[in-house]
Amino acid sequence: MTPFGARLAAAVAARGPLCAGIDPHPGLLRSWGLSEDVAGLERFAMTAVEAMAGDVAVLKPQSAFFEAHGSAGVAVLERVIAESRAAGALVLLDAKRGDIGSTMDAYAAAYLTEGSPLAADAVTVSPYLGFGALDPALDAAAAHGRGVFVLAMTSNPEGGDVQRAVGSDGRTVAQAVVDAAGGRNAAELTEVGGELGSVGVVVGATVDPAVAPDLSGLRGPVLAPGLGAQGGTVEDLRRVFGPVLSWVLPTTSRDVLRHGPDVGRLREAARRLSGELAATLG
């Protein structure tokens, strides 16, 4: 099975580097003139899939907004995953799961194991119960050709107290996460070859470059939230990521989704932003 890192590299080469979020936020539902219920959720999400899944490299549904509607909302999420993948987009499920032991095994089975209706191409995970606690997800991803994106230095200001804390070895928590992910990628690439590993990290496009972790040893993708509504710009990508720009997967949701509910306008907005990012990231 082709590793996720190789599949992601191929998708970005063919479609550009944009990761477009599908975030059925109540405010966005209202702005589209939709009801704040499962019917509105489904109309919103499937319109986004129709507009973008045929063009965008990666779609990133935010699990929480679907879970908020109970089992019916999760059923919509399953449809988003299946139809996005059928149209050729990779799906990164933004679930930010992180736990220990059998609970982490169960999350890995849900999101990364072939045959699960919630299995995406990759999933976001939280390492703050210890990076080693993520082993079930990392192992399942490797076994099934899927990927994980581990939170390292996020775009929310509250994260700094934890992520910039310095351990006994002199590294920040964020740097330790990046280094652990890099170790996983080094092992994968030694075994199967290729240029991009399947263990990514999340580093915000708005972080201060002076405190950002060193990504040179990662050899994997970098999910960069914060564009648009959170204040990040295309120029910030150059400033923050510099020599590893080619590994960066910029993500935005509201800046594209505000062009709905018209499918054509939504599609054109995604194409335009993807083109701008491709020109910036090379």
- Spatial distance between the Cα atoms of 275 and 228, rounded to a whole number of angstroms: 15
Report the SS3 class of residue 202: strand
Catalytic site residue from 25, 79, 85, 96: 96
Q: What is the number of alpha carbons within 13 Å of residue 20 lying toward its C-beta? A: 32
- Which residues lie below 8 Å from residue 30, measured CB to CB, with a gap of 6+? 36
- Spatial distance between the Cα atoms of 33 and 152, rounded to a whole number of angstroms: 36
- Spatial distance between the Cα atoms of 114 and 185, rounded to a whole number of angstroms: 22
Contact yes or no for 52/270 (Cβ under 8 A): yes
Catalytic residue check, 96? yes
Give catalytic residues, as residue numbers: 96
